[in-house]
Amino acid sequence: MSETYHNYVDGEWVESETGETFENRNPADRSDVIGEFQQSSEADAEAAVEAAAAATDEWANTPGPERGAILREASKNLEARKDELTETLVREEGKARPEAAGEVQRAIDIFSYYGAKASDIGGDVKSSSSQDTTLYTKNEPIGVAGLITPWNYPIAIPAWKIAPALATGTTIAFKPASLAPNVARKLVECLDEAGLPDGALNFVTGPGSSVGATLSTHEEVDAVSFTGSSAVGETVGDQANETGKRVQLEMGGKNPVVVMDSADVDEAVDIAASGAFGVTGQACTACSRAIVHEDLYDEFVEGVVEAAESIDIGPGLDGADMGPHVSESELDGTLEYIDIGSNEGATLETGGEEVDAGDGFFVSPAVFSDVEPDMRIAQEEIFGPVLSVIPVSSYDEALEVSNGVRYGLSASIVTQDLSEAHNFVEDSESGVVKVNEKTTGLELHVPFGGMKDSSSETYREQGDAGLDFYTLSKTVYLNY
């Protein structure tokens, strides 16, 4: 019989007031039940928010170095449990083991980083135009943050929201994705064991319609940070804006790799394929469009097809290169887009078929050629291992195609032409721009966020920018 896990509210592990639970299963082996989690209600979410609100004074008045020490201790706790957390992540989300281990290490590093940054949070001293006056700014925590996180990076994304919030003295009500709540629960355990005060962090599982909506609208919540689909993000943003909250939304992407005629084809294939098929294409920064100069087009298609066909598909716990989709609905969505692409007239060069690799949601990575920029497979986020290869004849045409979507999260160009590289950095309508690198992969100490429908374009995450969202600046004039 599977274990039942609880919410974490005001320093206690508690059952939902509904008395109901939902089941979480391994997407690579549907017979493997990971556990039962609380099917929480609006009342449970309210309790989490109220606990966070009650803890604001204590946590805000805790000195920054002391807050930082707790975060660093949490990092050590995560490090001690790295193998366990990696296996948990593989088992509930489906990632290949090296991908999961990298994500867990990212969470470890994030808590270590913000543990150090907590000692620097203060303000700036400025020169006053008056004599006998000290002029300075003072950064204060915003209050209570409602955090809503996705299933595709179920420990890294919670980490890069939770760590800067706690570093600033902000308290938290946190809802993880229902498809991957267990590794997030273990993250909360590590923070609890590090000595976090009761109420500073509260964890509630359950539906977005009840838990998520409450975090977005509750009068005691001062800021809402959401990562997920554009459709849900728009709803969260509308709810939060109606009640005057600070809002941070990071949403979808339709990320291109532009391959110019000066590129090394083998390098371009590796960059595009790793960005498109890594983590089963289930990343907001995944490459889903390869925009390739016509002089290299045929050679590139041949290379990327070979790369796709070389990927070993199967359960991550068995050492496969690419794991399953996280759910049946995600698999069905990818298969539907395979049909859409074929019906639109694109050529399916390889893949796009269900794979019998156990009792799970496996699909072979797909490559489409002869793709037109206005086709749905070239415009809409698929969130699966599907790469559309689009031919172009010039840099200007490549740029037009690259920017010709509603999203603007990550973009890359592969070129040996310095002018093209610099121009693309300036011209790309994306929050993350890379040269001769894959669209996925982020440094934790620099800002991350998108443009257009990929983001609310308000506050960035990670680095110093990650702290800004959770603080208010007060300007002080001290005349002595």
- In angstroms, the CA 338 to CA 382 distance is 10
**Cβ atoms of 40 and 371 closer than 8 Å:** no
Which residues on neighbouring strands pair with residue 373, listed in sequence order? Answer: none
Q: How much is the pLDDT for 62?
A: 97
Question: Over the stretch 197-246, which tens digit does the pLDDT of each residue have?
Answer: 999 999 999 999 999 999 999 999 999 999 999 999 999 999 999 999 99
Residues of the chain with CATH 3.40.605.10: 7-251+455-479
Q: Which two structure tokens, joined as six digits, stand for 363?
A: 């699909």
pLDDT band, very low/low/confident/very high, at 2 (cuts 50, 70, 90): confident
Mean pLDDT of 301-309: 98
Q: What is the DSSP string of 216-249?
A: HH-TT--EEEEES-HHHHHHHHHHHHHTT-EEEE
> Exposure of 198 by Cβ count < 10 A (0-12 exposed, 13-18 middle, 19+ buried)?
middle
- Order of strands across the sheet that contains 12-14: 12-14, 7-9, 201-203, 171-175, 144-148, 223-227, 246-250
Mean pLDDT of 247-251: 96
Residue 52 CB: number of other CB atoms within 10 A? 30
Residue 297 CB: number of other CB atoms within 10 A? 20
- In angstroms, the CA 387 to CA 375 distance is 13
**Cβ atoms of 324 and 26 closer than 8 Å:** no
- Give the gyration radius of the chain's Cα atoms: 23
pLDDT for residue 358 is more than 90: no
Q: Kindly give the residue spans of alpha helices, DSSP state H, lying in 222-327.
A: 230-242, 265-277, 297-309
End-to-end CA distance of the chain: 70
Residues of the chain with CATH 3.40.309.10: 255-435
Q: Does domain 7-251+455-479 have CATH number 3.40.605.10?
A: yes
Q: Would the pTM count as exceeding 0.95?
A: yes
Q: Which two structure tokens, joined as six digits, stand for 36?
A: 């039962």
Q: Which two structure tokens, joined as six digits, stand for 480?
A: 């002595």
- In angstroms, the CA 152 to CA 94 distance is 9
> Exposure of 324 by Cβ count < 10 A (0-12 exposed, 13-18 middle, 19+ buried)?
buried
Say what percent of the chain tops pLDDT 90.
Answer: 99
Instruction: Of 1-5, 28-32, 218-222, 439-443, give the lowest mean pLDDT range.
Output: 1-5
pLDDT band, very low/low/confident/very high, at 352 (cuts 50, 70, 90): very high
Active site residue 380: no
DSSP state of 292: E
Strands 432-435 and 410-414: parallel
User: H or E element: which one contains 189?
Assistant: helix 182-193
**Cβ atoms of 357 and 313 closer than 8 Å:** yes
Q: What is the mean pLDDT of the chain?
A: 97
Mean pLDDT of 37-50: 98
Which residues on neighbouring strands pair with residue 226, listed in sequence order? Answer: 148, 249
- CATH code for the domain defined by 255-435: 3.40.309.10
**Cβ atoms of 93 and 442 closer than 8 Å:** no
Buried b (16+ CB within 10 A) or exposed e, 140-179: bbbbbbbbbbbbbbbbbbbbbbbbbbbbbbbbbbbbbbbb
User: H or E element: which one contains 137?
Assistant: strand 133-141
**Cβ atoms of 376 and 340 closer than 8 Å:** yes
Strands 410-414 and 21-26: unpaired
Residue 426 CB: number of other CB atoms within 10 A? 7
Mean pLDDT of 174-200: 98
DSSP state of 3: P
Mean pLDDT of 280-304: 98
- In angstroms, the CA 306 to CA 135 distance is 63
Q: How much is the pLDDT for 1?
A: 67
Mean pLDDT of 95-111: 98
Torsions phi, psi for 288 (to 5 deg) = -120, -5
Mean pLDDT of 81-100: 98
- In angstroms, the CA 394 to CA 396 distance is 5
Question: Over the stretch 161-172, which tens digit does the pLDDT of each residue have?
Answer: 999 999 999 999
Q: Which two structure tokens, joined as six digits, stand for 387?
A: 């790469």
What are the CA-CA distances from residue 460 to residues 116, 236, 466, 467 (Å)? 20, 17, 6, 9
- In angstroms, the CA 435 to CA 268 distance is 11
**Cβ atoms of 290 and 387 closer than 8 Å:** yes
Please report the sign of the dihedral spanned by the C-alpha atoms of residue 149, residue 180, residue 100, residue 315.
negative
Catalogue the E-assigned strands of 382-431. 386-392, 407-408, 410-414
**Cβ atoms of 249 and 231 closer than 8 Å:** no
Choosing from 250, 349, 420, 461, the catalytic residue is 250
